[in-house]
Structure 1
Amino acid sequence: MTESNGPLGSPHGDASVPSAPAAPSAVSTPSAVSMPDWEKRFRAPRVGLPRWAEDAPHRSLFTSNATGTFELYAWDRTTGEHRQATDRPNGTTGGVLSPDGEWIWWFADTDGNEFGVWMRQPFHGGADEPAAPGLEPSYPDGLALGRDGTAVVGRSTDKGGSTIHVIRPGAAPVEVYRHEQSAGVGDLSRDGALIAIEHTEHGDAMHSAVRVVRIDGSVVGELDDTRGGSEELGLSVMGFAPVEGDSRLLVGHQRHGRWEPMLWDALTGEETPLAIDLPGDLDAAWFPDGSALLIDHSHHARSELWRYDLGSSELSRLDTPHGTVSGALPRPDGTVEFLWSSAAKPPVVRSTAGHVVLSPPATPHGIAQAPDSVPVEDIWVEGPGGTVHALLQKPAGEGPFPTVFDIHGGPTWHDSDAFAAGPAAWVDHGFAVIRVNYRGSTGYGRAWTDALKHRVGLIELEDIAAVRDWAVASGVSDARRLVLAGGSWGGYLTLLGLGTQPDAWALGLAAVPVADYVTAYHDEMEALKALDRTLLGGTPEEVPERFAASSPLTYVDQVRAPVYISAGVNDPRCPIRQVENYVERLAERGHPHEVYRYDAGHGSLVMEERIKQLRLEIAFAERHLGRAAARA
């Protein structure tokens, strides 16, 4: 239902490698002349932010949908050559360049189930080969590559918990870490001597601690903000210093009620706070010479870039347009390349030097770029837990409009002023679209995100209801034609909302949802079980009343609106069995519903599949609500 910068998300966050369904059967597509704008936005060529090899910055790796499926491409900046490196029916996005730029590592799963192995191929082409021989298939939990050929591989399985292995050239993998709780590789120091690990050994899957170990697994130091305080705070690894002999680690922390960076040297124990006076959340990365940090500042659903000089503590804003920066990397020459878009303007890779960095490869449809959409309006509504921020897009004409409440996944994610083909398609069909950053969303401070506990699902729906009431009272939305929709956690909230707020919604569209929370818990990935235990305070056996109160299946008999569900049969995040349980209950009641099952996992990297699913959703809405006036 929703298109985002990453996969649809899960009810428990995003994995490092998104899943995708198998390619649909061959279909004929209209020419660019006759193709509607909403389809052009999906089929238009796009590129991701190119990531360059640390010691060979002229070699880069990026993703593109030029073939109709997102795949990895190698880019030699010296010659200008683009080479498609992967070609799989499900698509491929999980790729990393070795520091010397000689090898492309990419993750190979099966049918979108996110369970697989790392492969590699030479940068200029050649046969793929197992990159980590000796390791069995698993879910990926981070990867770091060293200059001497060493690889540090994080992995997890449903039976073995989380493990980290060190692989040296010509040697068998050596396990240096194991725990039943979730953990992953954060980074490898420049000299290859230290490994940074994010872990949740304390049992709170929403707030990680950071440990630095030597390459043999012996512990050097630990940062754990979950201990000793009245509130548990999270930490994140942002990367070791990129300079020889510098053992400092850039760490994200929440000690002041938001995400912000600091420096920590595990060898000495020294912590260096950074006084960066900007509202909102701050992400950070090193400039290649280690003299400064690139600050990604996210505030009120938009972002901008700043440079922070470590010597002088000077903060200077970089020139980026109004909208959202979805990723940024500093270059050795001091410039910064970044992927930018807004709700109205499609994404483009820019440089602070003032030029477009990378143009997409040609597509067979003759589409040069995606058509523009309409800008978003900021909506602020008082809700039961504080002020709720929402983003509104409207078609031409006067309201009230039929309205899609397009609910984001995650739940630890947030909608932003960024280009999204899905919402733009609904606007083209005459619908207003409202996206709500409910409690549990990121980007509005730690307290807003951490409010999502114990009354899971019900809290978010209170915020959505407050925005819905505003939309109707303001004359934006037609109270008789309100659609609740979303993917993953947004799909979960859709089904839960249809049952707990049955008079509020005329229609529900749920993609890859949690539908039966108890069955979902027992069938999902082990890492997601840990997060569910954090959110709900225990297992279904320990807190059955909380799982029941938060499960859409509990309220299925109260649903009045027609329901459309799409689900991947290989989905490891929102498994198919629990969806079928919900569908069976709808069928037993004779309730109007449709289900689209596809041979895939948790989302799609195939453009024709995305178009097909959205076309089915739009048709379902028009059958039950009538056609809205299309935008001219």
Structure 2
Amino acid sequence: MTTESKHIDTPVWEQRFRAPRVSLPEWAEEAPDRSLFVSNATGTYELYAWDRASGEQRQVTDRPNGTTDGTLSPDGASIWWFADTDGDEFGVWMRQPFAGGEDEPAVPGLAPSYPAGLAIGREGTLVVGRSTDEDGSTVHLVRPGADTPVEIYRHRESAGVGDLSYDGSLIAIEHTEHGDAMHSALRVLRASDAGVVAELDDTKGGTEELGLTVLGFAPLAGDTRLLVGHQRRGRWEPMLWDVATGAETDLRLDLPGDVSAEWYPDGSGLLIVHGFEARSELWRYEIATGALVRVETPAGSVSSATARPDGSVEYLWSSAAEPPVVRSTAGGVVLDPPGPKAPPSVPVEDVWVEGPGGRVHALVQRPAEGEGPFPTVFEVHGGPTWHDSDAFASGPAAWVDHGYAVVRVNYRGSTGYGREWTDALKHRVGLIELEDIAAVRAWAVASGLADPERLVLSGGSWGGYLTLLGLGTQPDDWAVGLAAVPVADYVTAYEDEMEALKAMDRTLLGGSPEEVPERYAASSPLTYVDAVKAPVHLTAGVNDPRCPIRQIDNYVDRLAARGAVHEVYRYDAGHGSLVVEERIKQVALDLDFAARHLGTRAAGA
């Protein structure tokens, strides 16, 4: 039996996971025919090199738990990739020649750490960001011709490398020294002596904390302009900041929603990525004239985009109904992996529901056949600073195939609806998001979409946390709970998680567990575990640094002590798996668990 015929014989929902996929190819700035992309072609997500001139592609990494974090040197001579251990996100940067060869440690003088940004200069300058529980955040510089990294930045709070200027003389750092991990400030250092050139901090002098982010230095020699994202008007927008003179150029783009940008390679314009109400589109902004020109893309979501030296734009596009594809404005598909294509799914419907904090946006998918009320899965996104969009997702599509409606809620805390919506999470963490989910749940039942006796609360990471918290605080609302890699015991999670997430928790809750114990108790699923009525299925990565295993075990022990219906699946990886068959197994376990407790169709049935 051929691979393709075997693919066709498997259930449609599994075919979506197994179908070969590729990321948007990154290209080397000085050698644009040399590209790097991620693909699951072997069944595990790994890095691949692509020589566009010859058409040759080759697999760069080959590890049991996969590899996705990599980049090219500007000259295209080498590929850098991050090597952790079994998905624990703690490791070192490795380097391999573009044409192939042995891997070697890229920065021999640096011990393993969590990554916090990387910048490789054209002239040989290297800047590496690191994070460890012992040292906090550090940034290290390797100057051209030197072998030994020099520490140029250190702070207990979160920080990382933003970018390196075109000539390698300036280093931009994002930091949260002010203690608010949700809103970064910027500092620019000289590479020659690590002296401070400029500071930009929107958290000072106002009544509200505003964030900044580095979008990239101008791609021109001698140009000291830095493209920066800011929130000064209640949403993310780009501006130009000349770090040498301090001059700020406000672009004031007349687009609703959040706006990000990157430079065109010749510096004449900006590629604008505009996200609004769960969809995205592209524009070109002419710096000389201020003109804004639409870059035509299909309706749906552009998850990533890049401008090429010839002025064309390559972008990764999908919709809830149509699988992802890498397209070009020059025409056609840029990179089409061989093998069977992913079957399509059903489109999403937009629903707006009045919630306690304002209008809540939800995306709804209905089974292609039948009429409601349906068994319904509330699939809760992670982050929390993220949002569900009109983009292809194999997980929700699997539920739809099995006769479920799927509802995804962009609760307060989600991005894409303005800074006030995103920042609303402070102090009553988890409880705020669940108020919005409850409002959409009430609509789903009242509208006839959802069967109130067959409602599933499901999610991964922060979505898994909200699932467990919802089962305990809204015990009569949910028939089944499915929580993957969740926060289950907030205090223990804080003790064991990576340092950057501790900083985020202090920001969200207003301090550490010792400083505000009542807030951690109010927001911890463990507080409400004895109220849980629904059967619970938990999935946990034993090497997870974000939602560590010990705090999940604490929650499971409490369920077991009171004889609550639950099952636990532990897998040997970190915060999610890069192995296709492992992902399929986890979805199948969730489908089967729901089927047994709701009387619906099991996986593959």
TM-score relative to the length of structure 2 = 0.98
Task: Report if the CA contact (8 A) 2:119-2:161 is conserved.
Answer: yes
1:451 partner SS = helix
Match of 1:267? Answer: 244
Structure 2 distance, partners of 1:486, 1:345, is: 22
- Higher relative contact order by CA 8 Å / sep ≥ 6: 1 or 2? 1
CA distance in 2, matches of 1:498, 1:93: 33
Tell me if the contact between 2:48 and 2:61 (Cα under 8 Å) persists in the aligned partners: yes
Distance apart, 1:31 and its partner CA: 1.1
Q: Structure 1 residues 630, 579: CA separation in 2 closer, same or farther (over 3 Å shift)?
A: closer
What is the letter of the counterpart of residue 83 of structure 1? R
In the alignment, what sits opposite 2:176? 200
- Match for residue 188 of structure 2? 212
Instruction: Give the Å deviation of 1:359.
Output: 1.1
Are 1:348 and 2:321 counterparts?
A: no
Structure 2 contact 92–111 (Cα < 8 Å) conserved: yes
- Is this contact kept in 2: 1:428–1:631, CA < 8 A? no
Please point out which of 464, 484, 500 is paired with 2:473: 500
Structure 2 residue 203 is matched with structure 1 residue 226? yes
CA contact (8 A) 2:4 2:340 kept: no
SS at match of 1:450: helix
How far apart in 2 are the matches of 1:627 and 1:287? 51
For residues 322 and 18 of structure 2, the distance between their equivalents in structure 1, rounded to whole angstroms, comes to: 15
| Secondary structure at the counterpart of residue 392 of structure 1 | strand
Amino acid at match of 2:54: T
Q: Is the 8 Å Cα contact of residues 430 and 630 (structure 1) preserved in structure 2?
A: no
Q: Is structure 2 residue 102 aligned with structure 1 residue 123?
A: no
- By how many angstroms is 1:368 displaced? 1.8
Matches within 5 A, 1:85-100: 85-100=60-75
Give 2:457's aligned residue.
Answer: 484
Report SS of the residue matched to 2:564.
coil
Q: What is the aligned-residue identity percentage?
A: 76
Residue type at the aligned position of 1:129 = E
Q: What secondary structure does 1:482 align onto?
A: strand
Paired residue type of 1:335: S
Structure 1 unaligned blocks of 5 or more: 1-27
2:120 matched residue in structure 1: 145
**1:530-562 deviation per Cα after TM superposition (whole angstroms, max 9, x unaligned):** 000000000111101000000000000000000
Identify the match of residue 165 of structure 2 among 180, 189, 200: 189
**C-alpha separation in 1, matches of 2:340 and 2:514:** 55
Matched-pair contact (CA < 8 Å) for 1:431–1:628: no
1:146 aligned partner, one-letter code: G
In the TM superposition, what are the counterparts of 1:79-90 in structure 2 within 5 Å? 79-90=54-65
Is 1:573 the counterpart of 2:553? The answer is: no
The offset of 1:33, in angstroms, is: 2.8
CA contact (8 A) 1:210 1:223 kept: yes
Question: CA-to-partner distance for each residue in 1:119-148, whole Å, 9 max, x for gaps?
Answer: 000000000000011100000000000012
Counterparts of 1:627 and 1:447 in 2: how far apart (Å)? 40
Structure 2 residue 419 is matched with structure 1 residue 446: yes
Instruction: Please state if 1:370 is matched with 2:342.
Output: yes
1:39 — aligned with what?
Answer: 14
- Matched with 1:177 is 153
State how far apart, in whole Å, the 1-side matches of 2:4 and 2:87 are.
Answer: 25
How far apart are 1:265 and its partner, in Å?
Answer: 1.0
1:309 pairs, out of 286, 291, 310, with: 286
2:139 maps to 1:164: yes
- How is 1:383-398 mapped onto 2 (pairs within 5 angstroms)? 383-395=355-367, 396-398=369-371
Matching residue of 1:380: 352
Answer yes or no: is 1:298 the counterpart of 2:275: yes
Matched, 1:417 2:390: yes
Give 1:610's match in structure 2, choosing from 577, 583, 597.
583
1:278 is aligned, of 250, 255, 259, to 255
Inter-partner Cα distance in structure 2 for 1:129 and 1:277: 48
Verify the 8 A CA contact 1:570 1:576 in the aligned structure 2: yes
How far residue 96 of structure 1 moved from its aligned partner, in angstroms, is 0.6
Q: What is the SS of the residue equivalent to 2:6?
A: coil
TM-score (norm 1): 0.94
Unmatched runs of 5 consecutive residues or more in structure 2: none
Q: 1:459 offset after TM fit, Å?
A: 0.1
Residue aligning to 1:326 = 303
Q: Distance in 1 between matches of 2:215 and 2:589?
A: 41
Residues 91, 294 of structure 1: alpha-carbon distance in 2 compared, 3 angstrom cutoff: same
SS in 1 for 2:390: coil
**How large is the Cα RMSD of the aligned pairs?**
1.3
Q: Distance in 2 between matches of 1:170 and 1:84?
A: 31
3-state secondary structure, aligned to 1:584:
helix
**1:258 and 2:235 aligned:** yes
In structure 2, relative to structure 1, the CA distance for the partners of 1:631 and 1:136 (3 Å cut) is closer
- Find the residue that maps to 1:409 and give its secondary structure: coil
1:249·1:265 contact (CA, 8 Å) conserved in 2? yes
Match of 1:564 among 510, 533, 537: 537
Q: Secondary structure of the residue that 2:441 maps to in structure 1?
A: helix
Q: Which residue of 1 aligns with 2:446?
A: 473
CA contact (8 A) 2:11 2:604 kept: no
Query: Matched residues in 1 for 2:601 and 2:62: separation?
Result: 39
The number of residue pairs the alignment matches comes to: 600
| Residue identity matched to 2:546 | R
Name the structure 1 match of 2:224.
247
